[in-house]
Amino acid sequence: MTPDRYGPLPSLLDVPMAVAAELDAWMPEYLRALERQRGLELGAVPTPSAAIVRHAGIWRRGEKLPVSVVWPSGVVDYEIDPDSGNQTGTLQLGVLVCAGGSNEELTARNLHLYVAAARSILLHRGGLGGLTTGLREIDTDLTTIDPEDRGRTRAGATIAYEAPDVFLGQVGAGPPLDADPREDPRPPWPPVELFETDHTSVEQSAHPSDPD
Q: Indicate whether 98 belongs to any domain.
A: yes
* C-beta separation of 146 from 154 below 8 A: yes
Q: State the pTM of this model.
A: 0.82
Q: Can you tell me the distance from the alpha carbon of 64 to that of 68, in angstroms, rounded to the nearest whole number?
A: 10
Q: What percentage of the chain exceeds 70 in pLDDT?
A: 82
Q: Indicate whether 197 belongs to any domain.
A: no
Residue of 6 and 119 predicted with greater confidence = 119
Q: What per-residue confidence (pLDDT) applies to 2?
A: 42
Q: What is the mean pLDDT of the chain?
A: 85
Helices (H), the chain: 14-37, 104-124
* C-beta separation of 15 from 163 below 8 A: yes
Q: Between helices 104-124 and 14-37, what is the axis angle to 10°?
A: 120
pLDDT tens digits, residue range 158-184?
Answer: 999 999 999 999 998 888 888 888 777
Q: What per-residue confidence (pLDDT) applies to 201?
A: 38
Q: Indicate whether 149 belongs to any domain.
A: yes
Q: Indicate whether 132 belongs to any domain.
A: yes
For residue 80, what is the domain's CATH number? 3.30.70
Q: Can you tell me the distance from the alpha carbon of 121 to that of 27, in angstroms, rounded to the nearest whole number?
A: 8
Lowest-pLDDT range of 23-37, 63-77, 145-159: 145-159
Number of domains within the chain: 1
Q: Indicate whether 62 belongs to any domain.
A: yes
Q: Indicate whether 155 belongs to any domain.
A: yes
Q: Indicate whether 189 belongs to any domain.
A: no
User: Under 8 Å CB-to-CB from 128, ≥6 apart: which residues?
Assistant: 15, 18, 19, 22, 135, 163
Q: Indicate whether 113 belongs to any domain.
A: yes
pLDDT above 70 for 4? no
Domain of 71 in residue numbering reads as: 13-169
Q: What per-residue confidence (pLDDT) applies to 204?
A: 39
Which is nearest to 50 in space by CA: 6, 2, 98?
98
pLDDT tens digits, residue range 92-125?
Answer: 999 999 998 888 888 889 999 999 999 999 999 9
